[in-house]
A and B are shown apart, each in its own frame.
Chain A
Amino acid sequence: MISCEGHGVCADLVPEWIALDDWGYPLIREGAVPVPLLARVRWAVSNCPALALRLADT
């Protein structure tokens, strides 16, 4: 299961990388997060109310 509840915090914090679909669930761009965005992406991960967001090393 995906624990996202569609709060939309992530898209508010990193609009360059995360958009919301018509129902408020995140559409995350594919590929590696650009370095300049990393700090805010980490911020979004730790501020997700549902703890549904993860940053993965590849």
Chain B
Amino acid sequence: MVVLTGYDPLPGGLRLPRGIVLSEISVLSEPMQRLLFHSGYVEPPSAAAARRTKLPTPVATRGTHENLVRMTAPRLLGGLSPDGEAVDLRTHRAAYAEPPISRRGRGDAAIIDAVEAAGLRGRGGAGFPTARKMRTVAGAARPPVVLANGTEGEPASGKDAVLLSRLPHLVIDGALWAAAAVGADRVVIAVDRSNGVAAEAVAHALAERERHEPSAVAIEVSWTPPRYVAGEESALVQFVNKGVAKPTVGAGRPFQRGIDGRPTLVQNVETLAHVAQIAAWGPDWFRLDGTAGEAGTALYTVTGAVTRPGIVEAPMGATTMEILAMAGGPSVPLQAALVGGFFGAWVPTEALWRSHTRAGLEPYGASPGCGVIVALPAGACGLSETARLVAWYSAQSAGQCGPCVHGLADLAAGCTDLAHGGGPGLVEQLRRWGSMIEGRGGCHHPDGAVRLLRSAFAVFADDVAAHSAGRPCRASASVPFIYVPDAAHGWR
């Protein structure tokens, strides 16, 4: 299992339930389950695969003073109920005091200071410092709104679904603490309406509160359509305001003009769960786990060629391989990993021994994003997988901006050609199109596809050469590995 140094007990005699590595996945959306249970893949025997079957040795050993990584106990997953049910309000209140009542328009700097001292960064993908976001919104002229983003449009991610369906009160408490911090009198929780288990748990949790713990803050749920772009901040705000989950440009960013034109603090639900724990136990406790630079733990959705795919919790600074080990480790030899999800990048196996942080992954043009790791087995064709992911990007375009609509369509078609063999000049054409659409479109949706494609060209360089020479991998003709959901959903 995971080898980490410097295990410390929790301070003040605090007793958390024993850690649970979640490997049952009934709480996950149907596409997620299909991703996890994908069994159609058959590793084809090929010389290229055989060459790649030996994993490289670690580049460094662990646990020197400079890169000390600590983990005490799973903090979020440790609170899960072992019976697989959502933790009810009474049980939750036994461990967590009720958040303070938010004073409309008058934030509480002490809460923001605690979040800042903890060093918490957003766990939704961008990794922005949470306290800085809070301070901007708290200092605005008009009373703000808190928007808890639980849409989790990233197809390969399931951690937010776990939090919403198993620990809804921790998330709601976090939203209420955030509301008190910024002086918000309204909280909106955005949940993907196709995720029935999470939706039901959140609705039930709010009903419990209505009965036993009526709040001065209005808490409502926004049931969002299952589209990737629907989780983008401005799209989410427009959905709450007008019922259309498409991004906007020029209307001001949500932290300036969001829900009802009021400054809106948009935070991922895992971030809010950490906020609730920091508020309860303090920044020093939060910093017990992780590294000096990146504090706390994070949830990871680990799938692909691992023995026990599922959601795990690891300290910041853990290596990718340590996180894979928490999910049972690689089930077959690997050739690469997709980190950050569909909206992420491929990294080579040598990167698996680096810390799974922004700094550790940066040399590969990757970042942890929302904590997705998909382990790609040696026999799969990385270019075929990439082509299907780029096609997904194209299908997920909101259809509002020309470069996104047409550029991604051409990019996807070109990638499919490359997966099947490709011809002279195709790779150059794809690179040129990538540069052409980068940074364009209102919500910069194409940027994700461009980053993914560039990482594929770097990590699967041998395959690119072979495919371009008309010698595609044998795997490119077999069943694909990563499950890609279809995009047959509306925007309302």
Interface residues of A (CB under 8 A from B): 1-2, 4-6, 21-25, 27
Contact = CB atoms under 8 A, between A and B. Distances in A.
Contacts of A27: 436
B433 interface: yes
Contacts of B398: 1
Interface string B366-406: 00000000000000000000000000000000101111001
B233 to A, nearest CB: 15
A25 B404 CA distance: 10
A54 B248 CA distance: 17
Contacts of A5: 402
B403 A21 contact: yes
B249 A21 contact: no
A25 B433 contact: no
B237 to A, nearest CB: 14
B436 A2 contact: no
A4 B437 CA distance: 15
B149 to A, nearest CB: 21
Nearest to B406: A23
Contacts, number: 38
Main secondary structure, interface of A, reads loop
A2 B410 contact: no
B430 to A, nearest CB: 12
Given A1-B248, A2-B249, A21 B407 contact: yes
- How many chain B residues sit at the interface, stated as a range, is 10 to 19
Nearest to A6: B402
Contact of B246 (A1, A6, A22, A25): A1
Given A2-B441, A2-B442, A23 B402 contact: yes
Contacts of B401: 1-2, 4
B464 to A, nearest CB: 21
A29 B186 CA distance: 42
19 contacts: A1-B246, A1-B247, A1-B248, A1-B249, A1-B400, A2-B249, A2-B400, A2-B401, A21-B403, A21-B436, A22-B406, A22-B407, A22-B410, A22-B433, A22-B436, A23-B402, A23-B403, A23-B406, A25-B406
A23 B398 CA distance: 17
Residue among B248, B398, B403, B436 having the largest count of chain A Cβ atoms under 10 Å: B403
Contacts of B400: 1-2
Nearest to B399: A1
Contacts of A21: 403, 407, 436-437
Contacts of B436: 21-22, 27
Given A2-B441, A2-B442, A21-B437, 16 more contacts: A1-B247, A1-B248, A1-B249, A1-B442, A2-B400, A2-B402, A5-B402, A6-B402, A21-B403, A21-B436, A22-B406, A22-B407, A22-B433, A24-B402, A25-B403, A27-B436
Contacts of B402: 2, 4-6, 23-25
Contacts of B246: 1
A2 B247 CA distance: 10
Among A1, A4, A5, max chain B CB count under 10 A is at: A1
A31 B77 CA distance: 49
A49 to B, nearest CB: 14
Nearest to A24: B402
A6 B398 CA distance: 17
Interface in B457-492: none
